[in-house]
Structure formats: C-alpha cells, structure tokens
Structure 1
Amino acid sequence: MRKPHAAWSWQTKWTVSLMLLALGVYLLTRFRELWPPLIVAVLLAYVLSWPVELLTKRFRLARGWATALVYLLLFAVLLVTLLVGVPLLVGQVQSLNLDVQRLILQAESILGQRIVIAGQVLDGQQALEQLRGVLQQGIEALLSSTLSIVVNVVSSVALGVFVLIISFYLVKDAPLVKAYLDSLPPPPFQEDYQRLRREISAIWGAFFRGQLTLAAVVGGLFTVIGLIVGLPGAIPMGILAGLLEFLPSLGHGIWLTLASLLAFFVGSTWLPLPNWAFAALIIGIHLIFQQVDINYLIPRIVGRRVHLHPMVVILGILAGAILGGVLGVLLASPTIASLRVLGRYVYARLFDLDPFPSPVSEPLPPPNLQWWQKRSTSRRRFPRRRRR
C-alpha cells in the first residue's frame, strides 16, 4: 500500500511561493523584449479563434484545417491591403497637395501678431522659430539614421513572422491550452476560477468584437462624411477615425485636432466656404457625432462591460503608454476592467463577502407599442364582421 505524502508546513509553502515569485519577476525583467510580441500573438489568436470556432461547429471542419483556412484568408486580406490599399492611401495623401512653404507663411502671419493677455505679451514668432528648429533637428536625425531604420524594418518583419507562428499554434491547440489552464487551480477554487474566467473573457470579447465593429462603422461613416463635405484626404482620415476608436475619450480629441487643422489650412475640396468656416463646420459635425457615439453606438456595440469613467480611461491610457507603449495604450481599457473584476473578488474574499452576488432581478417594463402595433392588436381582438 502506498504511503501518503507528507504535507508541507506553512514555512515551506511561504518559502517556495516567495522563490517562485522572485523567479517570475526575474523572468519578466530578463525577457521583457519578448513579452510585447507574445502578447500580440495571444491577442491575435484570441480574435481569430472566433471564425475558427464557427468553421468547426457549423461546417464540421477539423480544427487544423479550419485554422489553416482562416490564416490563408488573413494572408489574402493583408496582400490585397498592401497591393490596393497602400497605393490608394498614397494617392489620397498626394491629393492633399500640401504646400509646406505656404503653410509656414500662413503660420508666420498668424503667429507673428503680438497677442496681449492680462498685460502679458505673447511672442508667437519666437515660438515658431523654436518649432522650426525642432522640426529641422528631427528631419536631420531621421535622415542620418537610415541604417537603423533598415535594421528596425527587418526586425519588425521577423517579429511579425514570430507572432503569426505562435498565434497559429495557439489557435490550433486552443482546446488543449484551455484544458491545461482549467486544471491548474485546486479543486476548492475551481468554481471561483471558472466564474472569473467567464467574466474576464466576456470583457475582452466585448472589447475586441465591439471595438472592431465600432472601428469599421466609424471609419466608414467618417469617410462618407469627409467625401460629402470635401475634407482633404477623406479616406485616410476616415481610416484614422476608425483606428482612434481604440483610444476611448482620447481618440476623438486627436482626430478633431488633426481634422480641424487640415480644414483650416487647406480648406474644402469643393464647398465654397472660407477655411475658418469649413474648420468650424468640421468641429460642429464631430461634436454632434461624439454625442451619437457616446450615447448610442458605444452602449449598443461595445456594451457596458468595458464601461469606465473617462477620467479612469485617460489615466489608464497614460499609465499604459508609460509601461507598455502603443500596446499599453490600446489595451488600457480592458485591462482596467479586468483588474476591477479581480479587485472586487479579492476584496470580497478578504472581508468574507459573497464574491459573486446574484444580480437583483427587476420586473420587465411594459411593452411600448407603436401605433401600427396597437392597430394590429385591436384587429386581432375585434375582427371585422363579414357582411352578409
């Protein structure tokens, strides 16, 4: 008969836990360059797992074949984007026909005026000279670092291949990875782990599905609006508006600043308006759309799972930019929402509260029947008598 293993003492458990924690911190710092592409691979696998699941369930394809088909479609989309989209964007940018010298002269005429505020004289010409010096230094540094740019391009391509390979195997072996992660928590904590995993997965799923849909809707809408009012570079500005939807509360301000400056210095392509009036029109259109986006599109497309206060979002974006760069900025909102779920769970466990309180069920509101529905209902209740 096999003898039972002796249980570890609490001192041994604490010692091993601290050693594992120190090892984890060391690995995080030692291989910190590896984590961003690995995180991107995990996120790409998370997004591409939805069409793979659809193919395996609806069309009864093997998971390996479904994964290969999805990645072939991804490569085809990337190839079409490079062959068609890039020349189109280049043509749109060239159609702006920006005369840099003319823009500089306009800026000099505007900033050259002396502005007096509360007895203080603001010298705009000095600020313009400083800005010109900074831009000149930046251009010189960019031209002198051609070799480093080539090296960065090659390393970016290698990282892209690494991301695609890792994400492919994560999607292909997703059931095995999920089963392994589900087996890690001890049996007493299995139920809590499953609840937390479902809530956090719902947050990230709502973020990616909602944000991708919202980006497509906003990008298409702003492209159409830009073409209607004659905004220069309407297609790239529409694409930029869609991409900036991944920066809640901050992307609107960035797009509005760029679009208003473009409208003020370049003007409309066909509307007979002065530049300042066209810039005011762009600002008014964007302010109206911002209310529609916040009050209608985001609650219905993204949902309330990732709903955070704008101040929390801005602070999270700043912290994400400091800690993780562009990736930290993009993933700030779902990360904060996930930490909120974990923090609520830890708080409930520390104070012996229910970590998963059941939501209070509220009675459904009475149906709001429209006039045509009321008419059809009355017809069903009181049918007309046939004439004899």
Structure 2
Amino acid sequence: MTDSRRWLWLVALLGGGWLLYLLTPILPPFLVAMLLAYLGDPLVDRLERRGLSRTWGVTLVFVLFALTVLLLLLILLPMLGRQLVRLYELIPHMLEWLQVTGLPWVQMQLGVDGDFWRFERIRTALSSNPERTGDLLGLLASQVTHSSLALLGFVGNLLLVPVVGFYLMRDWDVLMLRLRNLLPRRQEGLVLRLAGECHEVLGAFMRGQLLVMLALGAVYASGLMLIGLELGLLIGLLAGLASIVPYMGFIVGIGAALIAVVFQFGGDALYPLVGVVVVFSIGQMLEGMLLTPLLVGDRIGLHPVAVIFAVLAGAQLFGFVGILLALPVAAVIMVLLRHVHDLYKLSDLYGENGNGSGEPPKQA
C-alpha cells in the first residue's frame, strides 16, 4: 500500500469516527437492537435447524422476549416502586443515626472536631414533607414529560428498538455473509480468526454473564425477601446487577443488606443478620460452582478492572451510547492486544526468537 493510500484510509477512518460521534444522539435504539439481534441469533439458528423458517423463528423469539419483559414489568415494577418509596422514607432516619450514633463514634476514634459533620440541612430537606413520598413516581413522570418533544423522542426510540431488532435478527446471517465477502482476500483468514475470538469473548460475556447476573439477582432478592427484609427486592436486584464485576455484587449486596437489617430490626437482631450472610453465601457458592462454570466458563478473559474502566470510560466519553459500546469494544481491543503481544514477542525489538535466551538462533 502506497503512502497516499494509507493517508486516504486514515482520513476515511477519522471521518467515519467523527460522523459516528455526530450521530451519537440517535444511536442508542440501533445499538440496543443490534444487541438483541446478536443475543437472539443463536436461538433463531436452533429453531431453523428444527425446521422453522427464519421469519417465524425471529417472530417466536420476539414474542417470548416481549412476554417475559411484560411479566417482569407487571410483577416487579409495582414492588420496586413501593420499595423505592420506603427507601426514601428511611433516608432521614439513616442520616439521623449517622449524626447521633455513627459519626460521634468515628469522631472519638479519629479525633475529628464535632462540627466537622453536618447533616441537619439534608435531613430537614428530606423529612420536611413526608407526605410527598407517595408522589415520587408522579414527580419522576412530570420530569420525564416536561418536554413533549423529548417524550415523543423517547417513545419513538422505544418503539424503534423492536422494529430494527426484528429486521436485524432476521437478516443477521445475510449481513454477516456480505461483510465477509467484503474482506480483502489475502487478509480474510486473519480477520475471520480475530472475529471468531472476539465473538467467543463477547458471546461468553454478553450471554453467559448476563444470565449469571439475572440468576444471582433472583437468588439474592428471593432470599432477602424470605427473611423479611423490606428492601430485599431492591437490594437483591442491585447486587445482581453489580455482579457484572466478580465479587462486587457480593460486597455491595451484603453490605447494603446488613445496613438495612440493622435499621429495620435493630443491631441485636441475630437471626436476620445470620440470614443475610447465609443468603449471600449460597449465592456465592452457586455462582462459583454452578452458574459461572456452566454459563460462562473460562472464555471471557476480561479482567474485572478492565470491565470497570471500560464502562466508566465509555460513560464519560459518549454517555449511554458509550456504556452500550464499552464491553464489546473492550473485548475487541483485548483480542487485538493479545495478537500484538504475540507479534511483539516474535519481533527483533523484543530480541527473543523462541529460545528464551535473547540470542539469535544459530545458523545451520
């Protein structure tokens, strides 16, 4: 490739990246639709192998998905709404406990001035109008519907996701074949190998880890609700979502659950505290011995620190679109860096030619 063609490709890549940046506000529904198509394609392929047409297979997958989402919304949304209201009511009491009991103990241990902590204003603001706690959902709805144009845009994007997802899932194999036919013939094998590794990592993470998160959220929420914790559903689902990073769901969940038990039952309530520890211990054993080996395996290769950094960096750079793209981009970068590392170990710059001595191989 000549220098002029290299510069042309570089300008084209920069121009394409800048165009994507300008189109960021309209990308979320298309990215969500692509995610749905990617996750649902293996299931549609299985239905095709059983004799069902591609269109009917996609239709069946979408119907099952819609029924699942509708069932979850009908069951979980009212319960979550009540628990969010209850959490809002408990915040002033938590702040009062911090000010009266927790912070004085910290001040005694650290020698901090008594006027260092001041929560009166926050507690007063939260507890001044307790009768308004039931209007939280109404307040949220009023903020969402403040602009009719924004509401129409949100509804339009929401309706656009299943439409775009349906067509992408139906034509997924055709699109992949066309992309493969566009590859340079000399580099087709290398690109397909890299794409296969990226697909293996993404498939293991997006399908396996999401299922692990859902399973852990169900286990934690069910267990906490069985021991009588008022915020059990909210804390359990939060712990399940935090399980996207190994051990973070356990740490966040058990910490929040123990605090909630102390405020609900008191510090002397032994059985609820033991129950919380048992619930999260069972969840950890299920994750380590059953869920992760069965659903994920050892194919991810994404370090927990890399997951955290990718999500935060994507959110900082591109907002919600960045969050959607963070993990796929991180997986692709990880695969590319692995091959760059292998090439570097074979290069003269590294100075090692496979014998571990740093000396050039002997001539025959």
Taking structure 1 as the reference length, the TM-score comes to 0.72
Distance 1:259 1:330 in 2: 29
| AA partner of residue 313 (structure 2) | A
- SS, match of residue 108 in structure 2: strand
Structure 2 partner of 1:63: 54
Distance 2:87 2:312 in 1: 32
Structure 2 partner of 1:312: 306
CA apart distance, 1:51: 2.0
**2:168 is the alignment partner of 1:170:** yes
The answer to whether the 8 Å contact 1:252/1:290 transfers is yes
The answer to whether the 8 Å contact 2:37/2:168 transfers is yes
Residues 1:334 and 1:135: Cα distance change in structure 2 (over 3 Å): farther
| AA partner of residue 296 (structure 2) | V
Question: Relative contact order, CA 8 A, sep 6+: which one is greater?
Answer: 2
CA apart distance, 1:61: 1.5
Q: 2:339 aligns with which of 327, 330, 345?
A: 345
Q: 1:185 aligns with which of 176, 183, 186?
A: 183
Structure 1 partner of 2:26: 34
**2:63 is the alignment partner of 1:72:** yes
Distance 1:264 1:149 in 2: 42
Distance 1:185 1:84 in 2: 48
CA apart distance, 1:298: 2.8
Distance 2:116 2:270 in 1: 20
Q: Which has the higher helix share?
A: 2
Structure 2 partner of 1:46: 38
Q: 11-20 vs 274-283, which deviates more?
A: 274-283
- SS, match of residue 188 in structure 1: coil
The answer to whether the 8 Å contact 2:236/2:253 transfers is no
The answer to whether the 8 Å contact 1:112/1:124 transfers is no
Distance 1:134 1:329 in 2: 33
Structure 2 partner of 1:253: 251
Q: 2:261 aligns with which of 246, 260, 263?
A: 263
Structure 2 partner of 1:14: 6
Structure 1 partner of 2:316: 322
Q: 65-74 vs 76-85, which deviates more?
A: 76-85
The answer to whether the 8 Å contact 2:208/2:296 transfers is yes
| AA partner of residue 121 (structure 1) | D
Q: Mind listing any 5+ residue stretches in structure 1 that lack a counterpart?
A: 1-8, 354-388
Q: Deviations over 1:110-158 (max 9, x none)?
A: 25637134543354641x136448869xx99979846437654443221
- SS, match of residue 161 in structure 2: helix
CA apart distance, 1:194: 1.3
CA apart distance, 1:348: 4.0
Q: Mind listing any 5+ residue stretches in structure 2 that lack a counterpart?
A: 348-364
Residues 1:339 and 1:295: Cα distance change in structure 2 (over 3 Å): farther
Distance 1:94 1:119 in 2: 37
Q: 1:293 aligns with which of 282, 287, 296?
A: 287
| AA partner of residue 14 (structure 1) | R
Distance 1:187 1:213 in 2: 38
Q: Deviations over 1:170-204 (max 9, x none)?
A: 11111210111111221111111111111111111
Please tell me whether Structure 1 or Structure 2 has the larger radius of gyration of its CA atoms.
1
Superposition CA RMSD, Å: 3.7
CA apart distance, 1:296: 6.0
Distance 2:196 2:147 in 1: 43
Structure 1 partner of 2:360: none
**2:276 is the alignment partner of 1:282:** yes
Taking structure 2 as the reference length, the TM-score comes to 0.76
CA apart distance, 1:255: 2.6
Distance 2:173 2:71 in 1: 32
Residues 1:343 and 1:180: Cα distance change in structure 2 (over 3 Å): same
CA apart distance, 1:205: 1.0
Residues 1:170 and 1:190: Cα distance change in structure 2 (over 3 Å): same
| AA partner of residue 79 (structure 1) | L
Identity %: 28
Equivalent pairs, count: 338
